[in-house]
Structure 1
Amino acid sequence: MTRPESPAPKTICLVDDDASVLKAVGRLLTSAGWVVRAFSEAAPFLAYASTNWVDLVVLDIWMSVFNVTANAHHYYDRPRRSRREVDRDPDRCGRLLPKTL
């Protein structure tokens, strides 16, 4: 009997202009078994997300180079089932994340 193929690891995109945050959070998530794609600018992230499935995005909304209002259409143009909105309130975030992540 052959062993069933294991499911692909989940992909998390980190978007932050602080290199130390990208490095630290990236190492933490990688050590937990996630596939991590780190971006220090919005444009490369948006290009990647437009052609690749992303399970979770950790986004620094205060980045000077990322205008959330101007770039929101990239996010909202995706099908509803492929995105999940997460509130910045830490008390609500845990309840909003899918249990499968």
Structure 2
Amino acid sequence: MTGVMVLPFTYALAPLPDNAPMQSIILAQIAQTLEFSALTSFFGLLLAQRIGFGAPILKGITGGEKQKGYLNSILGSSVIWGILGGVLVVLLASCSGICPLN
């Protein structure tokens, strides 16, 4: 979903020629994002246990266990870091003159 949401920002950074087939470009961008996400997720989950990381929420979902306590413990910090990251992107984009909010 994030790959689709970042498309307007991507096109603001690198405008397309006037005769570019927008539908084909959007479909190719979505396909590329899905492929990259699938590959990185697969290898990330494969290698996570070897280096001591885990995916307790995913493991709980696939194993039928309840992970509500763990999810609640990280939810607040995840929301805060997500908001701070979004604000940082907008600030950096506005400093460089490519922010769509200007």
Which band: TM-score by shorter chain?
under 0.3
- Give the number of the structure whose alpha-carbon radius of gyration is greater: 2
Would you tell me which structure has more helix in proportion to its own residues? 2
Q: What TM-score do you get using the length of structure 2 for normalisation?
A: 0.24
